[in-house]
């Protein structure tokens, strides 16, 4: 356990980890919520940082946000000032912004250094060392008397990164298995959306005063549609229809089918009838793929969602036990961007994303306040909250340095479970 700093912290962490493992070991029919310390304790968050976030893959950007050489996004994660940048050869890299001279963050927190943009070179403002877009040192003045100094030895450090389906991920410790392996099954399911060729069309930023797991659980379970989204999402996707795929070591996949009414409206719209609001459809989807929301979390916190006309991606950056930064995005096909009516659709769909996510934000913040209370109880879970249970099982497995086992069974609930039982 790398986070243990003292015998007291060690004992406390052991108790939290034991609580998580015992909870995750319950069958779904007996599932309950985790001990509240899993959401509130800073020492447990430090454990997650070292043993989950730094060892697994964290998604930072989509290639459509970095179209040209020199385009970059600067962000900070776990005390690492990062620069996601496309270099002159077109490769996307995750560089450290820490100058090799006197450790300065080359993009200080100042309006003169925007968090995203396009640049020809990377210049440290302190003593003007100049780096190429791939982090190599191009020039530095007044260093000719420094004995044995060779520019080739000094560069911006680079983190281990991978582009998967157009999404840029970083793995801090450099030892994670490639995403092409971890997410291979995930890849097959979302292939028809061709996410690498989609474009981020809407981005909304949220500073969240709740634990990252409160967000991921809220993202993955649709039981809450009946309450949180009673007049919005629940109308077209009632929570009671949601069901989850069997356990996978590296991701959770749940289905949220559309109502028959909406399916009928979409079929009619495609056939030239009254238009259902939204973007140009994704081409080549089966009705099963098109007529539901496909909900995914690539562990630990890559939130992705597929629909008949778009994908949603939520970038989540955990900051502390009770804080995370969130970027909610909508991705559309290039064809959709060129279709007539795109500008109007963008306005209405931005409003839609804002509305339903605002509904979630109120709930999530209130859940965190509840979790801080001395009166919080270990609640029981509905079968509709199977993803919450699967996330618990991932956390328990990672606490032991492993991943969940791939389950070889039919889904517990939903249409395929019924077929299997027949
Ligand atoms: S700290 Fe960057 S040039 Fe000196
Ligand atoms: Fe929600």
Q: Each residue of 206-237: pLDDT tens digit? A: 999 999 999 999 999 999 999 999 998 999 99
Residues 6 or more apart whose CB falls under 8 angstroms from that of 73 comprise 60, 61, 65, 66, 83, 84, 85, 115, 116
**Tokens 């028959």 found at:** 260
Q: What percent of the chain has pLDDT over 70?
A: 98
Check: CB of residue 97 under 8 Å from CB of residue 107: yes
Spatial contact of 166 and 63, defined as CB atoms under 8 Å apart:
yes
Q: How far apart are CA 14 and CA 264, in angstroms?
A: 53
Task: Answer whether residue 67 shows pLDDT above 70.
Answer: yes
Tokens of 250: 């590296």
Ligand 1 centroid to residue 95 C-alpha, Å? 16
Q: Is 144 exposed, middle or buried (0-12, 13-18, 19+ CB in 10 A)?
A: exposed
- Top mutation candidate among 127, 130, 131 for ligand 1, by most atoms within 8 Å of CB: 127
What is the per-residue pLDDT across 331-367, written as a single tens digit (0 to 9) for each?
A: 999 999 999 999 999 999 999 899 989 999 999 999 9
pLDDT single digits (tens) 144-169: 999 999 999 999 999 999 999 999 99
Fold topology of 59-161? Rieske Iron-sulfur Protein (2.102.10)
The 10s digit of each residue's pLDDT in 272-292 is 999 899 999 999 999 999 999
Long-range residue pairs from 75-81, CB within 8 A, at least 24 positions apart, any chain: 75/115, 75/317, 77/170, 77/317, 78/49, 78/53, 78/54, 78/172, 80/159, 80/172, 81/105, 81/107
> What is the chain's Cα-based Rg?
23
123 lines ligand 1 (CB under 6 A): no
Our answer on whether the CB atom of 129 is closer than 6 Å to any ligand 1 atom is: yes
Per DSSP bridges, beta strands 80-86 and 199-208 are unpaired
Examine the pLDDT at 97 and tell me if it is beyond 50.
yes
Mean pLDDT of 191-200: 98
Record: fold of 193-421: Naphthalene 1,2-dioxygenase Alpha Subunit; Chain A, domain 1 (3.90.380)
Q: Does residue 96 have a pLDDT over 90?
A: yes
* Ligand nearest to the backbone CA of 364: 2
Q: What's the CA gap between 194 and 165, in Å, rounded?
A: 7
| Bridge partners, 281 (sequence order) | none
- Judged by DSSP in three states, 163 sits in strand
Owner of token pair 């109502």:
259
Among all bound ligands, the one having the nearest atom to the CA of 142 is 1
Q: Distance between CA atoms of 18 and 9, rounded to whole angstroms?
A: 14
- For range 405-415, the mean pLDDT: 95
Whether 124 is in the pocket of ligand 1, judged by its Cβ within 6 Å, is yes
Distance 123 CA to ligand 1 centre (A): 9
- In what helix (H) or strand (E) does residue 354 lie, and over which residues does it extend? helix 342-372
Domain ranges within the chain, ordered by starting residue: 59-161, 193-421
Q: What is residue 84's DSSP assignment?
A: E
The pLDDT of residue 4 is above 70: no
Local confidence band at 1 (pLDDT 50, 70, 90 cut-offs): very low
**Cα torsion for 297, 300, 301, 303, to the nearest 10°?**
-20
Query: 228-255 burial string, b = 16+ CB within 10 Å, else e?
Result: bbeeebbebbbbebbbbbbbbbbbbbbb
What is the mean predicted confidence (pLDDT) over 308-325?
Answer: 98
Going by DSSP bridges, is the β-strand pair 243-244/130-131 parallel, antiparallel, or unpaired? unpaired
Whether the pLDDT of residue 412 is over 70: the answer is yes
- In this prediction, residues 173-196 reach a mean pLDDT of 98
Q: Which pLDDT belongs to residue 418?
A: 66
For the CA of 107, the nearest ligand: 1
212 CA from centroid of ligand 2 (Å) = 14
Q: Where are the beta strands (DSSP E) in 165-310?
A: 167-171, 199-208, 243-244, 251-257, 292-298, 302-306
């Amino acid at each position: 356990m790398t986070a243990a700093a003292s015998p007291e912290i060690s004992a406390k962490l052991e108790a939290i980890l034991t609580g998580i493992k015992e909870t995750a070991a319950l069958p779904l029919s007996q599932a309950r919520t985790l001990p509240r310390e899993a959401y509130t304790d800073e020492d447990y968050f430090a454990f997650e940082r070292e043993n989950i976030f730094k060892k697994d893959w964290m998604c930072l950007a989509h290639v459509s946000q970095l179209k040209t050489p020199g385009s970059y996004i600067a962000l900070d994660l776990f005390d690492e000032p990062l620069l996601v940048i496309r270099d002159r050869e077109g490769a996307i890299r995750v560089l450290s912004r820490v100058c090799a001279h006197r450790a300065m963050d080359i993009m200080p927190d100042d309006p003169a250094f925007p968090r995203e943009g396009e640049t020809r070179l990377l210049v440290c403002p302190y003593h003007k060392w100049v780096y190429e877009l791939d982090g190599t040192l191009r020039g530095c003045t007044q260093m000719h008397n420094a004995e044995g100094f060779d520019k080739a030895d000094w560069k911006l450090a680079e983190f281990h990164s991978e582009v998967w389906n157009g999404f840029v991920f970083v793995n801090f410790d450099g030892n994670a298995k490639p995403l092409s392996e971890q997410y291979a099954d995930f890849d097959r399911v979302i292939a028809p959306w061709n996410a690498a060729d989609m474009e981020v069309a809407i981005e909304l930023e949220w500073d969240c005063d709740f634990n990252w797991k409160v967000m991921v659980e809220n993202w993955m379970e649709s039981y809450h549609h009946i309450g949180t989204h009673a007049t919005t999402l629940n109308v077209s996707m009632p929570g009671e229809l949601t069901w989850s795929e069997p356990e996978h070591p590296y991701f959770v996949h749940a289905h949220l089918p559309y109502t028959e009414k909406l399916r009928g409206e979409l079929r009619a719209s495609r056939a030239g009838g009254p238009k259902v609001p939204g973007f140009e459809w994704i081409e080549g989807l089966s009705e099963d793929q098109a007529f539901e929301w496909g909900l995914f979390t690539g562990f630990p916190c890559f939130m992705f969602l597929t629909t008949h006309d778009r994908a949603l991606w939520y970038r989540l950056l955990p900051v502390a036990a009770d804080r995370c930064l969130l970027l909610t995005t909508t991705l559309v096909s290039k064809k959709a961007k060129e279709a007539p009516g795109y500008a109007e659709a963008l306005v209405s769909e931005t409003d839609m994303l804002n509305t339903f996510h605002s509904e979630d934000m109120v709930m999530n913040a209130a859940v965190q306040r509840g979790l801080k209370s001395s009166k919080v109880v270990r609640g029981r879970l509905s079968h509709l909250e199977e993803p919450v249970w699967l996330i618990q099982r991932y956390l328990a497995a990672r606490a032991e340095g492993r991943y969940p086992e791939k389950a070889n069974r039919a889904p517990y609930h939903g249409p395929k479970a019924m077929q299997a039982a027949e």
